[in-house]
Structure 1
Amino acid sequence: MAHPIAHAVALVDEALTCARVADPGLLSEDEQRDVLLRLSQQVDQLESLRLRVIGVVGAAGGVAESDGARSAASWLTARVRTGFGPARAAEKLAEAITDRWQRVGAGLEDGSVNLPQARVIVRALESLVVDPLPGEEVPVEVLAAAEAHLVAQTAVFDPGQLERLGAKILEVVAPATCEEHERRLLERAERRANAATRLTFRRRGDGATDVAARIPDHVAARLKTYLEAWTAPRQDDSTRCGAATPFGGFAQRDPATGVRLPQERLRGQAFCAFLEAADPTRMPVHGGGATRVVVTMTLEELRSGAGVGTVLSNGDDLTTMSAGQVRRLACQSGIVPAVLGGDSVPVDLGRSTRFFTPGQRLAKTLTHRVCAAEGCTVPSTWCEGHHGRDPWGAGAGSDLADLMFLCSWHHQRAHDPGYRTKTLPNGDVRFTRRT
């Protein structure tokens, strides 16, 4: 005689075969409501049963061991082809609700707890018991009370709300000791976050680099705050015309198509602008001298805009870019232009008059408080210094009369050959896309 679980699985197969040929569009409204709710509950109950079986498969003497698999997750991955990550997550959840949080497992079985809720509750409870230092263990009775309270709240709260409640569960079930325990948890989390901090660069080969980072939460929050200063949307529709925001940001829509730009792209642009705005005088000494990025190209290429430049950073890291991009960067201090003669000998390494001085910027701010682009309201303190008359590569100087404030967005337009620029009688600059 078949095991009850095997028999139940056979009945599920039979029922699904029967339902497969039926048209759900023929369900009445009452049936639609009832069927969808019951199916949702049954899916979680079936997952609960699957987790119980996973626990048996991975146990000593189970099928995984018999078939030479390292774990139930490995055994399952080789047969259902859903990837190791989901299988391992299921295996860990099965272990948790079997060995430690049986009340959560019972809720899954009877349908009172759904799978997303169970995952959130287990994660919150596990955070209370993972790697405690001697004397810092949460009492068993407090853990039991926390589990019981969270399971009871599944009738009221969704997973997001349960997650917030789980983060503060000790305040509910053990208010007398929660503050000290929370302090220890935070200190431990900070130590782990610092140990896990990483930043990697991988060139894609298409002119872009993938940057992957893992940083502490407080650092990420700080970076996000800085970037939002550029990406915060305006309260009116001027960004539709390509103007930067009054907070130093970017247009929320593509000026050519009017399509709203995704937040990921805006944050990427803001990150680039943030790095360009970094004060090079505050960078640590690198290789015996101040940190600088050196851009090399011939004088003829810089003037004509037909060539490419090479960016040298960290002594040996080479990157190429267009002449237009070089000219834009050359307006910024901290970028040292190494202009080469015909024999590739440097003829200029950023002479002292090359960059606008802080005094010149201050003097200009007294009369020009915002970006010079027509209609743009980015404060001048957020703007980049642009050679408003002749470009430096054409032999222009860096006198006060040459200085023009442009926000990052419009500075890129000023060096973009796809745009025309026209100086208006009031000194503003109008940008028009070439057709």
Structure 2
Amino acid sequence: MVAELVPLPPPLVGCMDALDQILDSMPTDGYADLDPATQRGAVERLRRLRARLTAQELAAVRALDAGLGDRARTGELLAHGFGRDKFEADRTVRVAKTLSSAPLTEDALASGELAETQAAVIAGAMADLPGTVTQQQREACETTLIADARRFPIKDLRRRALRISDVFRQPAEAARDEDEALRLRERRAWTRTEMWMVDDKDGTWRFGGRLPELQAEMLKSSLDAIAAPRRRHLTAEQERDQDELTYAQRMGRAFTGILEHLPADKLPTAGGTPALITVNIDLSDLQSQVGAATLTTGTRVSSGELRRIACTQGIMPMVFSGTSLPLDMGRSKRLFTPAQRIAQARRDLGCVTPGCEAPPGWCEGHHWREDWAQGGTTNIDDGASLCSLHHHQAHDQDWQFRLAADGTIEIKKPRGIWQRNHRWRP
């Protein structure tokens, strides 16, 4: 009888089989029995092992892509694999191909000296080097960046990579190289800029996208200024509100505040139509403060939310009679002008709510004397400065306002007494 010959698996496949067996013998609940120092060492060692495995994965992806000859197809194949999506798969293919221009970096990743993010930054910098750079200069650049990765955080490593040509150029020439690299990166960023929005049909929308670095920094700086934890000291009520919110929730509320204060009358027009939201509501519902309003898009909002946002936002109220005929299509001068807001700020010195320390820059103009729905005018004495939180409460709780003889706005909350914000006034 002739024994059947069974071919041995390729060495790489045999190694992966051995890795599977080793991982099968490593219980995930065993780390709890280790002392803290050993636990920390285990985390660091596992991170290095993950980097080594990542190098193997990227090498396999590059080989697969070379065999297929089509990056888009490679990304699609990977996207249907283990827990991937198309964006991550395309990025993996891109990094794998870029590493081919940085052999020292790939070796450092395979040995666990670099993390994947560090290797991607270095490989990207090497790929962007001009063709006039000699092989010796390339090796010097790559060696320098690998050494820098051991002492710089990833953000500083990216900045260092932009100036890598100073390894072989004079400072002035390196500065020109950096400027050209930044121009190239900015052009690439604009081509990748995008945004998407999805209506979840539950009163909220999800959105995401990608912004160029400069504009993203501008947005984050604006949001941080509004959502910063230092605002928690304003009142005990606001401090409780801040304690209940996560950082992401505070940033989300800050973003809604920015949207509500966009100068809609300054936005581009489409076909001669201003970028304004039209809100339709029956007169009886508006005056009785019950019922809902309808946006041009069909979205329904409460009458209270409509009255609040109408104090500051460039929306056009369209009030209907009982026979669905338009009675009022907004007033040309409904929003407070910058000059009026400055005058109110000098009078109120910030939010007029008793105990609130919000400065004028955080406040909005509120029609307190007579709501715009009831025919109120937009004069300095008709407005009061309220921060966003208390502006919401003033509409939701139907606060009462009055102008005292000394020119100070006073407030009376439901079941309360007349009070004022006792700021020091010169």
TM-score normalised per structure 2: 0.77
Structure 2 counterpart of 1:265, one-letter code: Q
Structure 2 counterpart of 1:216, one-letter code: P
Measure how far apart 1:104 and its partner are: 1.6
8 Å Cα contact 1:76-1:87 kept in structure 2: yes
Larger mean CA deviation between 27-36 and 189-198 belongs to: 27-36
Report the 3-state secondary structure (helix = DSSP H, G, I; strand = E; otherwise coil) of the residue aligned with 2:229: coil
| Percent identical residues | 29
Measure how far apart 1:388 and its partner are: 1.5
CA–CA distance in 2 between the matches of 1:396 and 1:22?
Answer: 68
Q: 1:321 matched to which residue of 2?
A: 301
CA–CA distance in 2 between the matches of 1:181 and 1:328?
Answer: 52
Q: 2:424 matched to which residue of 1?
A: none
Alignment gaps of 5+ in structure 2: 1-7, 417-426
Report the 3-state secondary structure (helix = DSSP H, G, I; strand = E; otherwise coil) of the residue aligned with 1:404: strand
CA–CA distance in 2 between the matches of 1:352 and 1:76?
Answer: 57
Measure how far apart 1:2 and its partner are: 5.8
Measure how far apart 1:326 and its partner are: 1.5
Q: 1:112 matched to which residue of 2?
A: 113
1:412 pairs, out of 389, 392, 415, with 392
Structure 1 counterpart of 2:113, one-letter code: S
1:202 pairs, out of 178, 198, 201, with 198
CA–CA distance in 2 between the matches of 1:414 and 1:159?
Answer: 47
2:353 pairs, out of 368, 373, 393, with 373
Q: Does 1:299 align with 2:283?
A: yes
Measure how far apart 1:300 and its partner are: 0.6
With over 3 angstroms needed to count, the CA separation of the structure-2 counterparts of 1:204 and 1:48, relative to structure 1, is: closer
Matches within 5 A, 1:82-121: 82-83=84-85, 85-97=87-99, 99-121=100-122
Q: Does 1:269 align with 2:269?
A: no
Structure 2 counterpart of 1:403, one-letter code: G
CA–CA distance in 2 between the matches of 1:165 and 1:397?
Answer: 58
Q: 1:421 matched to which residue of 2?
A: 399
Q: 1:249 matched to which residue of 2?
A: none
8 Å Cα contact 1:388-1:403 kept in structure 2: yes
| Count of aligned residue pairs for this structure pair | 404
CA–CA distance in 1 between the matches of 2:77 and 2:209?
Answer: 32
Report the 3-state secondary structure (helix = DSSP H, G, I; strand = E; otherwise coil) of the residue aligned with 1:385: strand
With over 3 angstroms needed to count, the CA separation of the structure-2 counterparts of 1:396 and 1:273, relative to structure 1, is: same
Q: 2:19 matched to which residue of 1?
A: 12
Measure how far apart 1:196 and its partner are: 3.8
8 Å Cα contact 1:373-1:431 kept in structure 2: no
Q: 1:151 matched to which residue of 2?
A: 146
CA–CA distance in 2 between the matches of 1:349 and 1:36?
Answer: 64
CA–CA distance in 2 between the matches of 1:42 and 1:58?
Answer: 24
CA–CA distance in 2 between the matches of 1:220 and 1:430?
Answer: 42
1:190 pairs, out of 186, 190, 207, with 186
Residues 99-149 of structure 1 deviation map (CA, whole Å, 9 limit, x = unaligned): 3221122223344334443233223323x24xx6xxx75444432211111
8 Å Cα contact 2:235-2:355 kept in structure 1: no
8 Å Cα contact 1:420-1:433 kept in structure 2: no
CA–CA distance in 1 between the matches of 2:46 and 2:263?
Answer: 59
Structure 1 counterpart of 2:218, one-letter code: R
Structure 1 counterpart of 2:104, one-letter code: R
With over 3 angstroms needed to count, the CA separation of the structure-2 counterparts of 1:166 and 1:295, relative to structure 1, is: same
Measure how far apart 1:283 and its partner are: 4.0
TM-score normalised per structure 1: 0.75
Structure 2 counterpart of 1:231, one-letter code: A
With over 3 angstroms needed to count, the CA separation of the structure-2 counterparts of 1:361 and 1:15, relative to structure 1, is: closer
Q: 1:345 matched to which residue of 2?
A: 325
With over 3 angstroms needed to count, the CA separation of the structure-2 counterparts of 1:95 and 1:306, relative to structure 1, is: same
Q: 1:168 matched to which residue of 2?
A: 163
CA–CA distance in 2 between the matches of 1:35 and 1:292?
Answer: 58
Q: 1:387 matched to which residue of 2?
A: 367
Q: For the aligned residues, what is the CA RMSD?
A: 3.9
Measure how far apart 1:11 and its partner are: 3.6
Residues 183-238 of structure 1 deviation map (CA, whole Å, 9 limit, x = unaligned): 22222233333344434443332233334443332223233333333223337623
Residues 155-199 of structure 1 deviation map (CA, whole Å, 9 limit, x = unaligned): 444545533432332234434432222222222233333344434
Q: Does 1:45 align with 2:52?
A: yes
Structure 2 counterpart of 1:402, one-letter code: D
